[in-house]
Structure 1
Amino acid sequence: MLIDQFGRKIDYLRISVTQRCNFRCLYCMPKIPFNHQPKENLLSFEELFLFIKAAIDEGIEKIRITGGEPLLRKDLSVLIKMISDYKKDLDLAITTNGFLLKDFAKDLKNAGLKRLNVSLDTLDEKKAKQLAQKDVLSSVLAGIEEALNVGLKVKLNTVALKNLNDDELIALLEFAKAKNIQIRFIEFMENTHAYGKLQGLKRDEIIQILSQKYDVKLIKKAEKAPVSLYSANGYEFGIIDPHSHEFCDSCNRIRLSAEGHLIPCLYFDEALSIKEAIRKGDVKAAVEILQEVLRNKPEKNKWSVIDNETSLRAFYQTGG
């Protein structure tokens, strides 16, 4: 069992398999050049799996594959199958922008993927192009449909932004409701790589907008997820609020980058690398590094409105 210094059980590993992304979303990496990381800089699937097996043996029960955009990593279904075959009852998921999903959904399902989250910030074609700096909406919607058709469980992630999609929150909720899937509205997470003029909506502002049409009531804060669940006339949706330290109280996760950096917190800039240990096949040393990272895991994030701090790490490096 993996326990951090504050007594939190760590059973969730998020793995960024690539920093590359085919979008340039305003809230993430609008000015980062399209680049290609040399293959030798990345952990291979075999190397990733060597660590993943050890992490599962140490108590990891949930794994989410992220990026960048994870579907840009060639043959991702191969890694999914490795993980699924090793532990069939593992909670195994992907977060994706959905652009390539139509082509890969069936392979991912057949490899053992159980569910995925798809980013959907707008239902307006022009806004989607503005946000992603690319014509993306039709492909994303087609990807969502295909994922549902092949039997994957789907959730939607929506970053709530003032003067961009604040007039669509009700429509987005109703889109998700019609598909019988859950939507999660996410407060904009300030970072130095985002477009500087963006302003996010806070939890209470999101609720206020939705309350114009729906009777919104708090259900509960999810026990093992940084999300509060609400009801809108019986439909369940979520709000992720990183600006509250309650976000951290039940944090059960740790992150691994494509280059082998173990990161204790999405905001935290300190990290330790397992690359050398894994490439030597020294799993014991990699697990010792994992334990040290847990000792460095902070109690709370730094997204404090009072402190006005902004993350220096790009989220495409850590998987959001």
Structure 2
Amino acid sequence: MLQDNHGRRINYLRLAVTDRCNLRCFYCMPENGIDWLSRKALMSYEEMLRICSVLVKMGVEKIRITGGEPFVRKDLMPFLTALSKLAGLQELTLTTNGVLTAPFVPELKKLGIRSVNLSLDTLDRQRFHSITRRDELPQVLQTLEELLKHGIQVKLNAVVMEGKNTEDILPLAELTRSLPVSVRFIEEMPFNGSSGVKALSWDHFQILNKVREHFPEVHKIPDPPFSTSYNYQVPGYKGTLGIIAAYTRSFCGTCNRIRLTPTGNLQTCLYGESVLNVKDLMRSGKNDPELIEALESAMNRRAKNGWEAEKEMLGSTLMHRSMASIGG
């Protein structure tokens, strides 16, 4: 069983397969994108499969595929197929913006993928274009329809942003009346590749108050183990609501996850620096026991929470990373 130096079990890996994305959401990256990584700089699918196999043997039970946008990378489905066959892996999920996803939904279902996180910050086409700098809302809604049609659990992730989409909080919440989806409102995080970190305008308390104004009967429901969201439901509605305190980081104490970037950098905290590069270790000829030793050593130096990790990074240019380079 993989544990950190604070006694927390680590059983969840978020693996970013690419830094590239077909949207340009302003809260994630600059309008002109970022300096994309070369193919050589990325882990190959074979390397990803190997490190995932090692981590599963160490106790990782859930793997979420992220990006960038995962479906931008060529041959993703064969990789997911191989990954789904790892002995000991109990859950394989992915996060997508939905632009390219719809045609692959039947195959995702066949692979046993039961849950998908779909990014959807607004239901208004004009605001979608303003936020993402692309006119792709119809494609995203088609993906939502396909996922629900195939019985795949959907979590709709909406980043709440002052002056951009606060008027979408109620329409998105209203989706839970007739759809079995979890609509999750996320505090905006300071990872857009720019040089400044602005103050948070909408925290989880303000978001909840907005929901309660229109849905006064909304009530708290139990949070699953290791949940990053505070969860709620309107009586009689098919779906649920969640609020993720991503900026204020109130969920850090029970964190059970680690991240691998497309270049093989291991991050034991979203707000921290990379602590190890597994791609370099594999390419230098390290065997699996040596990889395990390096991973265990990294976990023994894990920050207690996001505030401690961020404090260690103060002044670093890494504070101005794009979310696409970290892993969604």
TM-score greater than 0.5 by the shorter chain: yes
1:270 offset after TM fit, Å? 3.3
Residue 319 of structure 2 corresponds to which residue in structure 1? Answer: 311
Alpha-carbon distance in 2 for matches of 1:136, 1:45: 28
Alpha-carbon distance in 1 for matches of 2:308, 2:205: 17
Alpha-carbon distance in 2 for matches of 1:23, 1:303: 32
1:88 offset after TM fit, Å? 7.1
Gap change, CA 1:244 and 1:218, over 3 Å in 2 = farther
1:194 offset after TM fit, Å? 5.2
Q: 2:193·2:322 contact (CA, 8 Å) conserved in 1?
A: yes
Q: 1:17·1:67 contact (CA, 8 Å) conserved in 2?
A: yes
Q: 1:192·1:311 contact (CA, 8 Å) conserved in 2?
A: no
Q: 2:14·2:327 contact (CA, 8 Å) conserved in 1?
A: yes
Q: 2:4·2:302 contact (CA, 8 Å) conserved in 1?
A: yes
Gap change, CA 1:9 and 1:154, over 3 Å in 2 = same
Which stretch has the larger CA shift, 4-13 or 74-83?
74-83
Q: 2:265·2:274 contact (CA, 8 Å) conserved in 1?
A: no
Gap change, CA 1:91 and 1:177, over 3 Å in 2 = farther
1:105 offset after TM fit, Å? 1.6
1:101 offset after TM fit, Å? 1.1
Code of the aligned partner of 2:262: A
Runs (5+) with no aligned partner, structure 2: none
CA RMSD of aligned residues (A): 2.5
Per-residue CA deviations over 1:166-198 (Å, capped at 9, x if unaligned) read 112111011244221111110011235259678
Code of the aligned partner of 2:142: A
SS in 2 for 1:296: coil
Q: 2:190·2:320 contact (CA, 8 Å) conserved in 1?
A: no
Residue 76 of structure 2 corresponds to which residue in structure 1? Answer: 76
Q: Are positions 1:289 and 2:294 aligned together?
A: yes
Q: 1:8·1:252 contact (CA, 8 Å) conserved in 2?
A: yes
Per-residue CA deviations over 1:154-174 (Å, capped at 9, x if unaligned) read 110010112221112111011
Residue 202 of structure 1 corresponds to which residue in structure 2? Answer: 203
Per-residue CA deviations over 1:22-72 (Å, capped at 9, x if unaligned) read 111011102353655322221111111111111111100110000000111
SS in 1 for 2:186: strand
Alpha-carbon distance in 1 for matches of 2:274, 2:164: 33
Residue 257 of structure 1 corresponds to which residue in structure 2? Answer: 261
Q: 1:216·1:231 contact (CA, 8 Å) conserved in 2?
A: yes
1:243 offset after TM fit, Å? 3.5
Alpha-carbon distance in 2 for matches of 1:4, 1:303: 15
Per-residue CA deviations over 1:49-108 (Å, capped at 9, x if unaligned) read 111111111100110000000111111111211121123761110001111111222222
Gap change, CA 1:101 and 1:186, over 3 Å in 2 = same
Runs (5+) with no aligned partner, structure 1: none
Q: 1:267·1:313 contact (CA, 8 Å) conserved in 2?
A: no
Alpha-carbon distance in 2 for matches of 1:39, 1:233: 50
Alpha-carbon distance in 1 for matches of 2:35, 2:209: 41
Residue 163 of structure 1 corresponds to which residue in structure 2? Answer: 163
Q: Are positions 1:266 and 2:270 aligned together?
A: yes
Alpha-carbon distance in 2 for matches of 1:304, 1:201: 23
Residue 216 of structure 1 corresponds to which residue in structure 2? Answer: 218
Identity of aligned residues (%): 35
Code of the aligned partner of 2:104: F
Alpha-carbon distance in 2 for matches of 1:162, 1:116: 26
Residue 97 of structure 1 corresponds to which residue in structure 2? Answer: 97
SS in 2 for 1:47: helix
Q: 2:19·2:324 contact (CA, 8 Å) conserved in 1?
A: yes
Q: 2:17·2:261 contact (CA, 8 Å) conserved in 1?
A: yes
TM-score when normalising by structure 2: 0.89
Q: 1:116·1:154 contact (CA, 8 Å) conserved in 2?
A: yes
Gap change, CA 1:135 and 1:195, over 3 Å in 2 = farther
Of the candidates 286, 307, 312, which is equivalent to residue 302 of structure 1?
307
Alpha-carbon distance in 2 for matches of 1:84, 1:15: 14
Alpha-carbon distance in 2 for matches of 1:124, 1:195: 29
Alpha-carbon distance in 2 for matches of 1:116, 1:133: 23
TM-score when normalising by structure 1: 0.91
Residue 110 of structure 2 corresponds to which residue in structure 1? Answer: 110
Alpha-carbon distance in 2 for matches of 1:23, 1:271: 29
Gap change, CA 1:175 and 1:231, over 3 Å in 2 = closer
